[in-house]
Each structure stands twice: as structure tokens, then as C-alpha cells.
Structure 1
């Protein structure tokens, strides 16, 4: 199979969240399984800086206000092929893939990501002058590529498309007066099209015009069909689920997350020898200016946004400190959340440390040092931190939502709570503290967590089965097909 994988992030070069990790790991797992998969990515400055030599292989036409551009090709050291959309006026800017160095999205994000989507459609149609390779399936990720399946349909192409929702809360919504500038037919501005409460939604376009829709965990696939977590698209998601076209496929964990060999950890350990973990905990406490302690260390590595529920942490932190607990917090995000956590740390500076920013090495060290990892998310499509934490022996204390519910075994490899409140979090923390007080129970739970495996090969098998089903080829992996058949789409279809 030949698959074009469209993404706005790729962790080797640039990432703003979990999408970057998925885009770097899933295609590699698919490639190992024999899929000819190639990645399409905007050529941001950091991408150009890290990519090395870029070969210009094709030119791409524009449409309406979308300017023409060139297509570059690079290969990673392990042989993964990336196509780069070279449009300097759109991408050669500082900041994140979505906004400038300061708060706020780029005002022309509609043009920036319509350019990405149009490039995907041109490659998919096999009309990219200078490029001999043509995919037989298009896999688009999140709203930045959402117009790609739509452009294909509007142009009369019938290439199978798969659209993956990583977080339905981010939809790429723009004013309806952008239709003509983006080359969108007026007839498409309809409930059965791109219209979303009298505005234009890139994510809805991707969902509506794709053949198959996936999301990043089975529980989240069910949740986005509900009014509470569907973010206004629950009706459309219910329809797609009833058609059997909505599948939840759990993300995996990169193999680099191994506490016995991680080069970012000054002390190594495994499930049978935890002495290195204890040494790392002492080192992290010293580095963060926390008082020496034999009590539990609660780690938080997170984007600091409302979704993550960190306001609940501020409500329970004092009680946990009084019971001997300490906190190591690392994150970057909303100014209000940063201010809240900063005040919390200043008020308990001997027991609560807050590092405002993100550093990969420090994230790994905090998880490696911690006894528990707090994730009181209001919703969590999949989550990677809870998988990383278990691998590093930090038992997650998390809300039973999305991928958290799918990857944490309550009272076995972590602690789940359902009530979205400080009281719910506090009760789960008390259960965790009781377990910590029983060394046999706690060490058994820690070892069970460290032995969990969240393999990308499992996800790749399910995606390959979905690709083959979309293309109309026989699915050779019976187990993968069975997993698809028992996905939330099957359950919802039965209910419908």
C-alpha cells in the first residue's frame, strides 16, 4: 500500500503536542510492516534547519488566494521519506506551528493550512508535476489537513481517505467570508458540508468528506458522540458511528521510553531493581530545591490548559503536603494556569516546585523520579504521559476519561476517578497514599505498571487493516480486523 500521511507536526523536527509524537512513531511502525508511507509537512523554519539537504522535486499549483509552492523531499536517517510544502510567505515565521512567539494564532492560519491540504490533494490525485509516486490512500490528521479530503471530492477524485481526530476541541473554525479565498464551492457551505454554526470548520470538512474516521482511543471514540464531549459535532459523529465508519485506535509509546537505558536519565532502573529510581528522586528533589523527604513525590508533566484540570490540583495540594507529599510540576500554557501554579509553588516552596516551560530531559527525569503522576483531565483523547509514567514507575492518578480509562488499570497500575472535581481527585490521592503506605502493595503496583507495553506495532496493525478495508483489499491480519470490528463504531451501530 502507498499512503500519504498529512500532518502539521513531526516530532523529529517540530511538535506542539501529542500529534507530533504520533506522526513520528505511527508511520515508522507502518513502514516496518511493509506500508510505503510518506509524510507531508509544512516547511517551518525549524524543519528546514533540522532536515539538512532538501531536494526540490515538484511544483504545486495554487487555487483562489492559495499561492503556488514547491515540494521538497528529505529522508530521515532511518529512511522515512518526508515531503515538505515550501511556501516561505506562509511558514517562515518564528513561534509554534500555529502561532507566534506570543499568545494567539496566526491570523492567516486558514491560508497556511489550506495550502497544506491542497498540496495533499494534488499529490493524492497524481497531478503533481515532477513526482512519480502516487498514493492509493490519504491519511489526514486533525484540522490543519481537514480540507484535503474535501478538495479531493470537489475535484471529482475518488481516492480513499482516512481522517484522524486527535482532539475534537480544536477544529480550525474561520469566518464564512473565507470560502472563496480558499477555493471552497458555495454549495459546500451547508450542514452536509463545511458549515459549522454559520462558520467554516476545517475539522468538520475532514470528517464529513472522509471515508473512514479514527480517533486515538476507543473510549474517546464513544465520548465524541456525546453532547458533553462532541464540541458541537456530536450529531455528525453519531451518524458516522452508526455507519460503522468511526474507529478508536489507541496510540502507542515510543521505544525510547525505557528507564533502563534512557540517556536522559542520570540513574537507570528497571522493575526488578529500583535503586536508580530512588537515587533519581533524591537528585530531582535537590535540583528543584525541595526539602529532603521520604514521602511520595507527585509529578506533573503537562500542557497548562483548562482541559488538563490543574486547577483541581491547587485545591488538593495543601492537604497532600500535610500528609508528607511533594510536587514536581513542569509545563507551559495558559497564563492564568501558569500564574495559579506559580503562586502555589511560592506558598509551599519547600514542598512544591514549578518549572514554567518544557524540557524533554527534565520531563523524563520528573517522571522517573516520581511515585505518582497526576492527570486530572476534564477530557483526554488519548494521552501519552500516563503511558510514559507507568513505564517509569510513576503510578498515574487520573480521571477515567478517553485514553486514560483505556490505559490505566484501576488499583493495579494506577488510580482512576470519575467525578470531575477536586473532591474526586482528593479521594483518588487518598487511595494512592494508602497504597504508598503499604510497601508490598505499592511495589507490586509499580512493577505491574512498569511491565505494561503500549506498542505502536499494535496500532499499526489496526491502521493497516483499516487501510486495506478502505482500499478494498483483503485484510490478512485476522486479529487486527477483529479489533476493528469490536471498535466503538460496532457498538454504536448495534445501539442505533
Structure 2
């Protein structure tokens, strides 16, 4: 076995390829959601297989992250997309990061997509087309950069034009496009086409056209060599009208052609409850008294009364997609059973106000914090007994895996990645149909388990052993990369295409 493993490792080293991972977020530098977590953790895990480098815009927070940035290249202007410098940054224990430096586009107050008032930047089409173009320009530089990608891996709509520019500029390398959330599509007026330097024939149903607008996300779906999404169940769901966001016909065709697959996300090793320094007290399986120390901290933090009853938690973006309105409908069931509820997150003002109103009504049983704090969020996962995730759709979800790792059993809607990561009645609870009645039944099942300590302990142990870590999740990506490279070397078509049904 040792010789076999060594041989496999040597083979990996000899066959390492250059992968350019294109993203608009990176948790070590700037994060809005799960994309940032994946864009940090997945490239780190893939370093064992390939020379993977990350391309990200030079936002204000990236440039001021206390990491040295060396300018290594200049990227020329194209159409109305301005010239940029390309910086190089090294993060400890991570891949090299290429930073797209263009002050007029990226050095602004706000997040990557919107200003401090929550309004989308009016020039987002320019900002993220420039990101996609930069990936193509890097692929063209060859010896000028002393590194050239063999594969471009673009993520979500802000990076979706990378596969498209590669095709339009005749760059003969494969591309992967990963959909983290199909609902965010990057829609803009077709009047933008000349500014982006795009050929007019892309404004068709077989190209970027989507109900009279151009869709960045659709460009990624159409022109990438292969599409992935972040769970097997979500890959099937998005081929249906219910979850396909108007793109189900295209996605069903890609699925049937074997060009769409689901690869579940993992979590990084920092979510190990014995060693996480954020926790009040670390713990392992069956060390429930040590887990309880985190519960007591959460009670004090949120002003809840001390109780031996169950502690339910929500750590989430407060949005309709996440089913927070459904959670509002089961609060009475939790409170009447002697349970408590803590909520941490930000989102829609209506939901924020309603949750705060409930906290005022039940001051020692419900606690709400509008905002986010990484350390306290981890203590909530560790201190809670159950995590509420009634998402209407959930491409993958990471919170349920964080909770499981910390011995908190998720209660979740049977959709997307929640199906692929929660075994009903074993590592959590699933319910069918995004409605209050089904949700309440799942909560009642959880309350029953809580009253039976041996059953609760057994489920916790199974849950803690269930989440995949990234080192377990990267093999499918490696397999995909090698398959695409093999096809490319054999002269097979590597650009995506699609013809709409007549």
C-alpha cells in the first residue's frame, strides 16, 4: 500500500497542470457569501494535485490586506474595458493569487457587487467583463508571465465571461464553469455589447440572450467546456422548470450530453471542534459536557435564561430563499416546548424587523443579532443542539456541514445539497415541501430526539463524522480536469455550444 500510494503521488507530481481559478470573492481577502469560502478552500486543497492560481479583482480590502503585491504584467485595454496591472500575492499555505489592479473599477467603498447603500454598481458589466477578459489575456501571455494556464476554472456570473472570451479570441484551452447559485445571473442591457467588445451574433438564444437582456451566467453555461454545480441533487434540480430559473432547457441539454455534473463542496479543517481556537471549550464526540460550555456562552451572549431545554440556531443570510418566514411560523412550537432560539445574520429589512420583534416578545427565549461575527458564529454552531435551514432552494449549503461537525443536528428542507449531506433521522432531519406544517413536523421529531439522550448522542456522533473535508472533495475536480485535458490533447472539441430546440 505504501509503494502504491507513493507511486500515485509521484504520478500526480509529474502530471501537475496549471489551473487558473477565476472568482469575485476569496474568504481570506473579501467575502460576501459561500463563494468566498469555496474560493479560498478549494484552491488550497487542489494544490496537492496541480499548480492552481487564483485571479481576483483588486478591491480596496484586497490591496490593503497586508500581503505584499508585486506587479508582474500589464493587461491592455479592449473595447471599453480599461487597461489594468496584474499583481501577484502569496498567502501563507495557499496558492499564488493574481490581483487585477484597476482603481477606477475596483477600489470603492462597499462590497464587490454593490455600494454602501446596497445598490448594484451601475458599471458591473464593465467591472466583471474585465475580470473575464483578464483570464483570457493571462492565457495568451505564455512565456511573458512564465506561467500559462492549461485550464480556466470560472465561478458564478461575475467570472462567467472568462470561458466566452477564451472562445471568442480563439484560445485553445478547456474551461470549467461552476454555478454556485443559478438565481444570480448578471443581467444587463444588450446596449452593453459594444462596450464589452462582444460580437453581435452572441445576442441570440444560442448565445447570451435571455429575455431581451444579455446574461453573463448564460455565457458561462453556453461556452464553457464543462459545467459543474455544487451538489449532485442541485445539478438535477436546475434541469427542471421549478429550479432552472428559465435556463432549464439549456441545462437539461448539457446534462444529457454529460457536460453538467454536481460536485459537493467540503469544509476546511478549521471546523474540527477539538482544535478550533474560537470555541469556549473544544470537544470531541460524546464529550457533551464540554460542548455545553459553548451553550452557556451563547445563552449569556444573547441574554437567554439558563435552561436544560434545546437550543435552536439560525446562522444565515436573512432572505426569502433561506425560508426565514417559515422559521417565523414554527417559533411558537419551539418556545412552547421549552426551547430557545438564537439568530445571527443580515438581509431583508422586513425579516430583520420581524425577528427583532419576536426577540422583544420573548426576551429570554429568543435572541437576535443583526450582523455577523465569525468567532461567535462558530460558538453558536458548537453550542446549539439544532440548526434550522428551511431553504426553498440550496445549491450546496455549508452551514449544515459546519453544524454537523460541531454536533448540532440540522433541520432542513429536502432540496439541493441539503439532500446530499444530511441523512434523515441519522445525521439530521429533512422535510418535504417548503411549508410550515412539514417544517413543524420535523421540529417535533427533533424535540422527541432531544428528550432521549442516548438517541441524541448517537445522532450527534454520526453527524460529527459525516461532513466531507475539502481533501475528500477535490478528487472529482482532479478527475474532471484530467478528462478535459485528455480530450483537448486528442483534438476533441473543447468549447461548449448549444442549439435551442426548434
Bin the TM-score by the shorter chain.
over 0.9
Structure 1 counterpart of 2:34: 18
Q: Secondary structure at the match of 1:180?
A: helix
Deviation at 1:434, TM superposition (A): 0.6
- Per-residue CA deviation, residues 155-197 of structure 1 (Å, 9 max, x unaligned), is 1222100000000000000011111111111111101111011
Would you say 1:209 and 2:261 are equivalent positions? no
Deviation at 1:459, TM superposition (A): 2.1
* Cα separation, 2, equivalents of 1:364 and 1:109: 33
Structure 2 counterpart of 1:282: 296
CA contact under 8 A between 1:400 and 1:416: conserved in structure 2?
Answer: yes
Would you say 1:113 and 2:128 are equivalent positions? yes
* Cα separation, 2, equivalents of 1:286 and 1:322: 21
- Per-residue CA deviation, residues 99-135 of structure 1 (Å, 9 max, x unaligned), is 11122211111111011010001112236x8412111
**TM-score, length-scaled by structure 2:** 0.93
Q: Secondary structure at the match of 1:280?
A: helix
Show the 5 A alignment for 1:119-134: 119-126=134-141, 130-134=144-148
CA contact under 8 A between 1:125 and 1:152: conserved in structure 2?
Answer: no
Would you say 1:82 and 2:97 are equivalent positions? yes
Deviation at 1:473, TM superposition (A): 6.7
Deviation at 1:359, TM superposition (A): 0.5
Structure 1 counterpart of 2:65: 50
User: Where do 4+ consecutive residues of structure 1 move more than 2 Å?
Assistant: none
Range moving further from structure 2, 46-55 or 436-445: 46-55
Structure 2 counterpart of 1:27: 43
Range moving further from structure 2, 207-216 or 275-284: 275-284
Structure 1 counterpart of 2:499: none
Structure 2 counterpart of 1:466: 480
CA contact under 8 A between 1:125 and 1:159: conserved in structure 2?
Answer: no
* Cα separation, 1, equivalents of 2:370 and 2:406: 22
- Per-residue CA deviation, residues 199-249 of structure 1 (Å, 9 max, x unaligned), is 000000011000100000000000000101010110100010011000100
Structure 2 counterpart of 1:377: 391
CA contact under 8 A between 1:13 and 1:51: conserved in structure 2?
Answer: no
Would you say 1:261 and 2:275 are equivalent positions? yes
* Cα separation, 2, equivalents of 1:401 and 1:38: 32
Gaps of 5+ in 2: 1-16, 490-502
CA contact under 8 A between 2:73 and 2:87: conserved in structure 1?
Answer: yes
Would you say 1:295 and 2:300 are equivalent positions? no
**TM-score, length-scaled by structure 1:** 0.94
* Cα separation, 1, equivalents of 2:319 and 2:119: 14
Structure 2 counterpart of 1:70: 85
Structure 1 counterpart of 2:10: none
- Per-residue CA deviation, residues 391-449 of structure 1 (Å, 9 max, x unaligned), is 00110000010000000010001000011111111010001001111111111111111
* Cα separation, 2, equivalents of 1:87 and 1:324: 55
* Cα separation, 2, equivalents of 1:132 and 1:474: 22
Would you say 1:100 and 2:115 are equivalent positions? yes
RMSD: 1.3
* Cα separation, 1, equivalents of 2:257 and 2:94: 38
Structure 1 counterpart of 2:211: 197
